[in-house]
Amino acid sequence: MKLIVGLGNPGPKYAQNRHNVGFMAVDRIAADHGFSPWRARFQGEIAEGRLGDERVTLLKPATFMNLSGQSVGEAMRYLKLTPAEVIVLHDELDLAPGRVRVKTGGGHAGHNGLRSIHQHIGEAYRRLRIGIGHPGHKDRVAGYVLSDFAKAEQDGLDDLLRGISDGAAALALGDDTRLMNAVAARVAPARNSGTRPERPADPPAAKAPPAAEPPSMAERLRALGDRFR
């Protein structure tokens, strides 16, 4: 069994924030893979179902971001899981929009949700880092992560969330390569896969006229004789 946690802040005020992309990802997984309706549990909301052969509980902590570990720790202990069976989906400033990376263990890089989870279950859980880009200066980070995705970003965001959902079974099974391929297929489709028009074929090159054959020896002698008549 796996516990897959999406990080975010509860309530409609924050629903479209960049900081809530973890919530958005687990919502898409639940909708696409026929999970149970969301219900209150473990200081958050859970939905239950299967991804491939793996039983999965999805969790959205309702404790606000900086207390996420309370909800995650309670759910992990009740379900009798180890940190290695917990997967956290969260926004990542150090990745460009549309990019994802899988990581196990390591530091929290100042992310308040991860910092709280570290405090409650340690660092040995897996993370799916979902790129949101960086505003350019650390003083702008707080306002940036708590602002909504721009309208111009919506199509790219939808492709990214669909890709994560497509690869959710691979994520649960630890097949990171298949997960990354699923995301790439949505975010950067292969050429001529039906998503982009094919380049028109070049017109055939015009054929050069055939070269004239050189005159025969008899014709050359006859022409030479004509000159001296």
Give the Cα separation of 225 and 37 in Å (integer): 106
Buried-state track 27-46, b at ≥16 Cβ within 10 A, e below 16: bbbbeebebeebeebbbbbb
Give the Cα separation of 100 and 92 in Å (integer): 9
Q: How far is CA 2 from CA 59, 117, 118, in A?
A: 11, 16, 18
Give the Cα separation of 16 and 116 in Å (integer): 22
Residue 12's contacts (CB-CB under 8 Å, 6 or more residues apart) are none
Whether 39 and 75 have beta carbons less than 8 Å apart is answered as no
Catalytic residues: 19
